[in-house]
Each structure stands twice: as structure tokens, then as C-alpha cells.
Amino acid sequence: MTIFEDFLSKGDLYLMLEKEGLICKAFQEKHIKSLYEYGWYDELYDNKEPNFKELEQLPIYVVLLDEYKEDITQQLIKEYEPLSKVKKAGHFFDFLVVNTELNLISGFGLGRKNRLFSYISLNGLDFKDNDEEKEELLNSSMPWKFLTEIKFTLKQIGLEMFEKDHLPSNPDMLQDAIDNGPNKNGSYIIEDDDDEYTKDDINGYIHEHQIKFENIEYFGMLLKEIFPFLEINELNTGDY
């Protein structure tokens, strides 16, 4: 049985993923209703209520790859061998979007500098990047471009994480610098940082940290509507 057949028939692999909350249909009613107010699935509401029963029958699946569920990851690799080369190459996918009728799998995740990377595989062949033809084939198989939106969301999380991680220190240590007051030169010192800052500098960095945190929380909330047990901070590769 192929991975595509397993998903369609809710075979052993599907049930293993389902038990851990790591797989779902991309066009489930609860996802559509909860994410519509944030701009997702908008084209499905064409002056009428979507046909949820019909949408849930679409063979489009989303899989979350949890690095702490290594046994499940290995089972996925066993069932779909092309995943092994990606795993061995370094950064692994965070998500898969699968069309079981087209035998298409798009895998994507955050890599070095938390940049989005995305590959696609057809009929058990190796994953390839920049395959716009197959990606468009996958997107066009959907009544709304779910693949485009989930990839955009993950890309934004990665960008915000990168920028946040490159701000000086962290909010607590920045606040400590203000609480400790200026040195004899009137400058503020951050622990483990040799530079000197003004109070305005420090407050500005605290504000920037907060903005980045809120943005990560927002985009992360969208993904957690699909996978409630997803730990957003675990998407941060820390590879800079």
C-alpha cells in the first residue's frame, strides 16, 4: 500500500498520525469556519455558504512533522522513501501537503536563517525545489490556494523569528539595563554586550521585541487552528 492509498483508506500510518494530532484534511469545516475571519478560504464563500460535506471529501491532507516524534517520522520515511534524502540533507520539512489522487506531496519548512524552503515530489520520485509546474498543479487541484497560504504563513513566522533573534539581548535583560540606570558616561549597559546604549535605544529594542513577538503569535495562531498541539517556538531552527 502506498502512502497515498494509506491516507485515503485511513490505514495504519494515517491512524498513527491521527492519534498524535499530526494529520487532517485541508478543507475541514472547522478549519474553514475558524480561519475564514482571518482571510483564509475566502473564495469558498461566493455569496453562499460553502458545501462543507463536499469540501471535506477532497483528497487534500496536511501533515505536521514533529521532530520529537521521531518514530512517526521514521515510519513516514519508510512509507515514502524520497523523504529520507531530505532528512539526511539537514533541515527537514515541518509540513507536508498531500493530494492523494494526484500522488503529489509538497514538503516545506524553515531552514538556515529561518528561511522557508519548499520541495515537491510526484509518484514517489525525489523531491525537487522550484518545480513551479507541479506546485501549480497541486494548487489548482484545490478550490482555494491552501498551499500558497500555509507556506506564506510559515515564511512570515520564519522572517519574524529571524529579525527577533537578531535584536539585542531579550526584553528582560533590556529592562534590567534600564532598571540598573546609566553608567558614569550616561550610557546604558546590557549584560554580555560590550556596546553602550541610550535609554531611547533600549526602549526602542524592547518595543521591537514586543512587535516581533506579537507577529509570531499571530501567524502561529493561524497554524495552531489547524494543529492545536503545534509548539510555534519549535519551528525556530536557531541556525544562523
End-to-end Cα, the chain, rounded Å: 40
Q: How far apart are CA 156 and CA 134, in angstroms?
A: 23
pLDDT at 119: 97
Does pLDDT of 210 surpass 90?
yes
3-state DSSP call for residue 24? strand
User: What percentage of the chain exceeds 90 in pLDDT?
Assistant: 94
State the pLDDT at residue 47. 81
List, for residues 147-186, the tens digit of each pLDDT value: 999 999 999 999 999 999 999 999 999 999 999 999 999 9
pLDDT of 222 higher than 90: yes
Q: What is the pLDDT of residues 42-74, one digit of tens each?
A: 999 988 899 999 999 999 999 999 999 999 999
Q: Any bridge partners for residue 128, and if so which? A: 120
pLDDT number for residue 194: 87
Query: To 10 degrees, the CA torsion angle through 228, 233, 238, 239?
Result: 30
Tally Cβ neighbours within 10 Å of residue 75.
Answer: 15
pLDDT of residue 232: 97
